[in-house]
Amino acid sequence: MKVLVIGSGGREHAICMKLKDSPLVSDLFACPGNAGIEGLAKLTDIKPMEFEKIYDFSRKEGIDLVFVAPDDPLAGGLVNYLEERGINAFGPRAEAAIIEGSKAFSKAFMKRHNIPTADYEEFTDVNKAIEYIKMRNKYPAVIKADGLALGKGVIIAEDEKDAISALHEMMECKVFGDAGSKVIIEEYLTGREVTVLAFTDGETIYPMPSSQDHKKAFDYDKGPNTGGMGAFSPAIGYTKGAERETLEKIIFPTIKGLKEEGRKFKGVIYFGLMVTDKGVKVIEYNARFGDPETEAILPLLKTDLMEIILAIMNDNLASINIEWESKIGFCVIVASGTYPGKVIKGFPISIGDLDKRITLFHCGTAKKDGKLVTNGGRVLCLSTVSNSMDEARELVYSEINKISFEGARYRTDIGKK
């Protein structure tokens, strides 16, 4: 099969690596891809939101399947667009991807189906939101932009001043564009954060090993939220009991609820969970593989990824068996110095001779005059599969300084807590 992967991050690099391994895949293309993906796939300079160009390219190249990995084209309906024109596409249609595309939708959906999540209110009027935050007078307060905001649309306000300024920034200054026209103000949950990704054809659901992301920019969960600075799998503190509860109260009702509402979800669904002392609650849904969770999890997958994708496309996920290595998947991101703020791109990258047990995924890289340069906030991701967390940590952190570019920065505490 000829497969086109949409996206350009570490997640897409990890997906491409798995697809390249599949005997079912003859040719791999990426749109737009990055300098790491270039070794595996033919790159095109089409952007993920250029639906018509993606369609034309797919027709011209005879693409058998388009794998849509990022949030924007999923929420924007690329899968619908391609399917309606006779091109097979992997990922949820827009009516299902809305569970990520609109937090107001996903909160109301959870309420309708009795799925545990933080209590919330939604606002489109900044003055009403401010009035509510003052009246509520409980901190930290969680303020979320309704729409997609590159993983940065959540502000945990420590006091009234922070909260009001976040509301002004989102709703009036539109720092996240239209994504902040509507906001959610919700209860602050405490506990352990766990990510559960799952394959689903809309009926059958196969959870992958659990994982833990590290959203904050700096060590010990300090600083602003990022797309994620490192991850490991399986998550710590996700007990068998919590797993059972999550399946029963969250995963099954979500898939069933979506189907009942005519939003059958086919693809990879992401459950961002908080294991609290009052049970497991949903922090967020995503409609795709997480990044960087994928760079920690996919290396553990033993089954052919393409076989799983085909089973989902053919509505017979129940007919296959999915196997994983029972080891630790672990990864750390090397980011640009000013990430998650505005970043300068184009710094030359040098990479020393890395230990063979490290897989280096490219997140934001490009080639300029034949040389590797930075091309985004998250730049590279060092990943390994180990027998223990200590072994994984030791290896990755002993190799990470072989990566250098101006301002390169990483968290030193992944897997420590």
Q: Which residues bind ligand GLY (CB under 6 A)?
A: 151, 213, 227-228, 286, 290-291, 293
Pick between residue 71 and residue 304 the one whose CB is nearest to ligand AMP: 71
Strand partners, 43: 30
269-288 residues near ligand AMP, rule: CB under 6 A: 272, 283-284
According to DSSP, the residues that pair with 304 across neighbouring strands are none
Please state the closest distance from residue 64 (CB atom) to ligand GLY, in A.
Answer: 27
Q: Kindly tell me which of 11 and 182 has the beta carbon lying closer to ligand GLY.
A: 11
Which residue stretch of 17-25, 51-59, 185-193, 204-212 sits at the interface with ligand AMP (rule: CB under 6 A)? 185-193
Residues numbered 141 to 160 that lie near ligand AMP (CB under 6 A) are 142, 151, 154
Residues 198-217 that bind ligand AMP (CB under 6 A): 215
| 124 Cβ contact list (under 8 Å, min separation 6) | 181, 182
Name the residue nearer to ligand GLY (CB basis): 373 or 377. Answer: 377
- Closest to ligand AMP by CB, 217 vs 360, is 217
Cβ proximity to ligand GLY: between 133 and 287 the closer is 287
**Residue 283 binds which of ligand AMP, ligand GLY, none (CB < 5-8 A, kind-dependent):** ligand AMP
Binding piece for ligand AMP, criterion CB under 6 A, among 66-74, 187-195, 340-348, 378-386: 187-195
**Shortest separation between residue 382's beta carbon and ligand GLY, angstroms:** 16
236-263 in b/e form (b: 16+ CB < 10 A) is eebeeebbebbbebbbebbbebbeeeeb
Shortest distance, position 3 Cβ to ligand AMP, whole Å = 29
Residue 296 touching ligand AMP (CB under 6 A):
no
Please choose, out of 84-92, 188-196, 289-297, 386-394, the segment that lies near ligand AMP by the rule CB under 6 A.
188-196
Stretch that binds ligand AMP, among 186-194, 320-328, 336-344, 377-385 (CB under 6 A): 186-194
Closest distance between ligand AMP and the C-beta of residue 211, in Å? 12
Minimum distance of ligand AMP from residue 412's CB (angstroms): 19
Of 71, 193, 291, 295, the one binding ligand AMP (CB under 6 A) is: 193
The interface partner of residue 118, options being ligand GLY, ligand AMP, none and the CB cut-off 5 to 8 Å by kind, is: ligand AMP
Give the 3-state DSSP-derived string for the chain, with helices as H, strands as E and coil as C: CEEEEEECCHHHHHHHHHHHHCCCCCEEEEEECCCCHHHCCEECCCCCCCHHHHHHHHHHHCCCEEEECCHHHHHCCHHHHHHHCCCCEECCCHHHHHHHHCHHHHHHHHHHCCCCECCEEEECCHHHHHHHHHHHCCCCEEEEECCCCCCCCEEEECCHHHHHHHHHHHHCCCCCHHHHCCEEEECCCCCEEEEEEEEECCCCEEECCCEEECCEEEHHHEEEECCCCEEEECCCCCCHHHHHHHHHHHHHHHHHHHHHCCCCCCEEEEEEEEEECCEEEEEEEECCCCCCHHHHHHHHECCCHHHHHHHHHCCCHHHCCCCECCCEEEEEEEECCCCCCCCCCCCECEECCCCCCCEEEECCEEEECCEEEECCCEEEEEEEEECCHHHHHHHHHHHHHHEECCCCECCCCCCCC
Residue of 71, 186, 201, 243 interacting with ligand AMP (CB under 6 A): 186
Question: For strand 279-286 and strand 267-276, is the pairing parallel, antiparallel, or unpaired?
Answer: antiparallel
Q: Considering CB distances under 5 to 8 angstroms, the limit depending on partner class, which of ligand GLY, ligand AMP, none binds residue 291?
A: ligand GLY
376 binds, among ligand AMP, ligand GLY, none (CB under 5 to 8 A by kind): none
Residues 304-363 that bind ligand AMP (CB under 6 A): none
Per CB under 6 A, residues contacting ligand AMP are 118, 142, 151, 154, 186-189, 193, 215, 225, 272, 283-284
